[in-house]
């Protein structure tokens, strides 16, 4: 697969976009918009895959606890999508950037005609220096919210699918920790960050543990699955801490930050 060497997909999670109390983290929105705008100014084509619609919708609706029913989750997602795009538009506009919203479900990827149209949409937006912001269409799709066999899986897999679809050279997954450790750093002070991984085997998968942040629904397991999917298609993948978006400068230059998953050579 021939990749666009200047095209990069960045995935940001709920834990980065909200703070410890579950409220919107405006500083994170601002820093992310600033760095992505700057990276685009450096000549890169930027695609942002963003979680957070349900959590931000919950804030907007002033619901004290995360909904458990599908209908309320989808309602929160519908409200949250409006709020999250308003925030992105506000902060990216501060850096003179235009954004676009793309909401996906599994049919958009599986149906060939829709897939071709989607690729054309991405290419057209990127040609016009517009930053596409992508999320699964949670207000109508149940797969990401409810299904045990998720197509995308907390937007980690979605980011890998988008990277493959758009033939990006690099995928960066912004997490709530610095990268993949040999054991859970929340409970083990001697945990060691793994800087580079050339093959995602059973040993590496055993380091992933369970779910991640209480504000999001994913964890390192889905991030490893996304990394494997992307690297198998020749796309270099990095997992790093979303609290420091400035690390993206190092990553686009090929310098070390977080955990690098090297791309498999595609013949």
pLDDT of 217 reads: 42
Q: What is the mean pLDDT of residues 20-45?
A: 95
pLDDT of residue 188: 84
Locate the DSSP E strands across 151-246.
168-175, 196-197, 236-241
Mean pLDDT of 34-48: 98
Summary count for the chain: helices (H), strands (E): 10, 8
**Distance between CA 145 and CA 149 in Å, rounded?**
11
Task: Say yes or no to pLDDT of 60 above 70.
Answer: yes
Domains in the chain, start-ordered, CATH in brackets?
A: 4-261 (3.40.1160.10)
96-137 per-position pLDDT tens digit: 999 999 999 888 888 999 999 999 999 999 999 999 999 987
- Tens digit of each residue's pLDDT (9 = 90 or more) over 212-239: 544 444 478 899 999 999 999 999 999 9
Q: How far apart are CA 139 and CA 142, in angstroms?
A: 8
In angstroms, rounded to a whole number, what is the distance separating the alpha carbons of residues 198 and 194?
Answer: 11
Q: What is the pLDDT of residue 215?
A: 40
pLDDT number for residue 1: 66
Give me the mean pLDDT over the 161-182 stretch: 94
**Confidence at 21, pLDDT banded by 50, 70, 90:** confident
Checking if the pLDDT of 140 tops 60, the result is: no
The pLDDT assigned to 103 comes to: 92
Least trusted range by pLDDT, from 26-40, 54-68, 130-144: 130-144
| Residue 173: pLDDT band with limits 50, 70, 90 | very high
């Amino acid at each position: 697969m021939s990749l666009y060497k200047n095209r990069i997909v960045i995935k940001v999670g709920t834990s980065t976009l909200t703070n410890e109390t579950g409220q919107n983290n405006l500083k994170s929105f601002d820093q992310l918009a600033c760095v992505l705008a700057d990276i685009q100014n450096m000549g890169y084509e930027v695609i942002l895959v963003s979680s957070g619609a349900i959590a931000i919708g919950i804030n907007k609706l002033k619901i004290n606890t995360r909904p458990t029913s599908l209908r309320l989750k989808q309602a929160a997602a519908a409200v949250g999508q409006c709020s999250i795009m308003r925030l992105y538009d506000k902060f990216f506009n501060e850096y003179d950037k235009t954004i676009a919203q793309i909401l996906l479900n599994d049919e958009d990827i599986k149906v060939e005609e829709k897939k071709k149209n989607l690729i054309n949409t991405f290419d057209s937006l990127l040609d016009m220096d517009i930053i596409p912001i992508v999320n699964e269409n949670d207000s109508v799709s149940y797969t990401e919210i409810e299904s045990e066999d998720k197509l995308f899986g907390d937007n980690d897999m979605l980011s890998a699918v988008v990277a493959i679809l758009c033939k990006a050279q690099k995928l960066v997954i912004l997490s709530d920790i610095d990268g993949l450790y040999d054991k859970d750093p929340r409970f083990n002070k001697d945990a060691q960050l793994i800087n580079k991984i050339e093959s995602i085997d059973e040993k590496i998968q055993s380091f992933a543990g369970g779910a991640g942040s209480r504000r999001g629904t994913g964890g390192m397991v889905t991030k490893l699955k996304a990394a494997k999917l992307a690297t198998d298609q020749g796309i270099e993948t990095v997992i790093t801490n979303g609290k420091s978006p400035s690390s993206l400068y190092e990553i686009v230059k090929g310098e070390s930050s977080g955990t690098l998953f090297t791309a498999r050579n595609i013949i």
